[in-house]
Amino acid sequence: MQDLIRQLLTELGEDPDREGLMRTPLRVEKALRFLTSGYRANIEEVLNDALFTVDYSEMVIVKDIDFYSLCEHHLLPFFGKCHVAYIPNSRVIGLSKIPRLVDVFARRLQIQERMTNEIAQTILQAIDPRGVAVVCEGTHLCMSMRGVEKQNSFAVTSAMLGIFRDNARTRMEFLELIKLRTAVMTPTSESASLVCVND
């Protein structure tokens, strides 16, 4: 990979042998491998030992989970907050595992919509809850840095499954608890991650 990065630097008009860039290919490779480590994570291992049977049926919420991902169209970062909620049937996930799960899907080449859905579907499959809700709010550098559609560089995506999809009151309770920065709340709102490929 480092040879390719050296070649890329040359293509960009740089001298890969100048002092400041000498170790750049090594650093870039390390960074890219870390930022895509989600491909090599094993979901079952992540959740292992953290699934519990309980007698609890209230909403479980983990909000303001930081995420950092890479837009698959430009390989530029998008990042922000992710809010996750579910209503258990009889099983719960250890709370500390939810941010780990977000990392697993964020550390890949992504679009925000897919990442949001993957987090929700994984929780659905792991504990079969009455419902799962995931909302992600992300700033897309591929939009803001390139000066494209600046006003749309912030995107909100959501996945509402089970009772969060079927019951407006449950959904509203969740949205009230996370106090969204924007009012956009339709499940398939137009978002920057799709807009970013229209150029």
- Site residues for Zn ion per CB under 5 A: 71, 73-74, 142, 196
**Nearer of residues 149 and 173 to Zn ion, judged by Cβ:** 149
Active site residue 136: no
Active site residue 72: yes
Least distance to Zn ion from the beta carbon of 154, Å? 14
Q: Which is the catalytic residue, given 71, 82, 136, 196?
A: 71
Q: Which is the catalytic residue, given 73, 121, 149, 173?
A: 73
User: Taking CB positions, which residue lies at the least distance from Zn ion?
Assistant: 142
**Nearer of residues 73 and 91 to Zn ion, judged by Cβ:** 73
Spatial CB neighbours of 140, under 8 Å, sequence gap ≥ 6:
71, 76, 78, 112, 153, 154, 155, 192, 193, 196
Least distance to Zn ion from the beta carbon of 14, Å? 23
**Nearer of residues 84 and 196 to Zn ion, judged by Cβ:** 196
Which CA distances in Å does 97 have to 40, 58, 144, 160? Answer: 17, 19, 31, 20
**Nearer of residues 120 and 196 to Zn ion, judged by Cβ:** 196
Active site residue 74: yes
Active site residue 83: no
Task: Count CB-CB contacts under 10 A for residue 146.
Answer: 15
Tell me which residues are annotated as active site. 71-74, 112, 140, 142
